[in-house]
Amino acid sequence: MSRILTITTLISLLTITVLTTPATSATDSFVFGGCSQLKYTPGSPYDSNVNLLLTSLVRSATFTTYSNFTIKSPTPQDTLYGLFQCRGDLSNGDCASCVARAESQLGTLCPDSSGGALQLEGCFVKYDNTTFLGVEDKTEVLHKCGPLIGYDSDQLNSRDVVLGYLGTSDGSYRPFRVGGSGDVSSVAQCVQDLSASECQDCLSEAIGRLKTVCGPAVWGDLYLAKCYVRFSTAGASSHGGNGNGNDNSGNDEVEKTLAILIGLIAAVALLVVFLSFLRKSCERDRVAVKMRDEATEACLEPNNTILNI
């Protein structure tokens, strides 16, 4: 009987794993977000400019991976600047849905804030009334490192080869870069308001810092204000080639909790089916064999199990 119980547990664990995986590989997963401390008055011209700007960004994301907007106002402090940047490999449809999601999350995260920025897996959105368009900014926003690989010179080599390749300049403008060597794959993205040389400079900086902070980790992500670099090792963890934000995502957590809940419900349902099956076979046994105290105990045992959950 304990073997059947083990199988039931395994099935429910599998259910949890299967249900959890899609949530972490989505381009819509939250990576980071931040808001300006200054607030505008709801219903003010500033308010309508923010709405106009964000709507323009969302609309524009249906046909391009990068765009910037300036909403001019007679009063300089109400003039707004904004941009979005989708990861270079996203389709128009995926880019549009990512920017729409980022826009709605910005509204929740930064209510009435004069400025805000949000990075999802697949896209970045920022608005403010101080101009940041075309301004290089190498401030570190976030880094996350996976578990250490220990000493594996092949993987360390592959990582250095891949990051070296991502960091080389061939003189052309490459705001989106992917690379792979051995088990290691990597992706880099500049916000396209940077010039070719600024993008190159930003990525070199990010790659250098990523190597320093994530050392010999199986995966690592490093986000500067205007570019990011990420690498991952195949089969090392659930952290896919495009990477995924696994720790600090409010939405991810909700989705994971939901998946685990569904998994648990499935497990309990399986257990109930299993128990009613057991009870029936127990009752059959009672007819066949003269009822003894041990037999009654054996039939009660599953009920104890369910109480222990």
Ligand X SMILES: *[C@@H]1O[C@H](CO)[C@@H](O)[C@H](O)[C@H]1NC(C)=O
Number of residues forming the site for ligand X (CB under 6 A): 12
| Interaction of residue 38 with ligand X, rule CB under 6 A | yes
Which of 134, 182, 216, 240 binds ligand X (CB under 6 A)? It is 134
| Interaction of residue 197 with ligand X, rule CB under 6 A | no
The interface with ligand X within residues 112-131 (CB under 6 A) comprises 114, 129-130
Closer to ligand X by Cβ: residue 219 or 228: 228
Torsion of CA 56, 221, 138, 203, to 10 degrees: -90
- The H-or-E segment that residue 99 falls in is helix 92-109
| Interaction of residue 133 with ligand X, rule CB under 6 A | yes
| Nearest distance in Å: CB 76, ligand X | 6
Residue nearest to ligand X (CB): 77
Closer to ligand X by Cβ: residue 45 or 208: 45
Parallel/antiparallel/unpaired status of strands 116-120 and 123-128? antiparallel
**Type of residue at 238:** S
The encoded tokens of residue 65 equal 């991976």
* Three-class SS state of 125: strand
* Three-class SS state of 40: coil
| Nearest distance in Å: CB 77, ligand X | 3
Residues 165 and 149: their CA atoms lie apart, in Å, by 21
| Nearest distance in Å: CB 230, ligand X | 23
Contact 201, 188 (CB under 8 A): no
Closer to ligand X by Cβ: residue 6 or 130: 130
Contact 57, 84 (CB under 8 A): yes
Closer to ligand X by Cβ: residue 38 or 306: 38
| Nearest distance in Å: CB 224, ligand X | 17
Closer to ligand X by Cβ: residue 30 or 132: 132
Residues 78 and 263: their CA atoms lie apart, in Å, by 50
Phi, psi values for residue 6, rounded to 5°: -60, -40
Which of 40, 127, 231, 274 binds ligand X (CB under 6 A)? It is 40
Residues that bind ligand X (CB under 6 A): 38, 40, 46, 68, 76-77, 114, 129-130, 133-134, 193
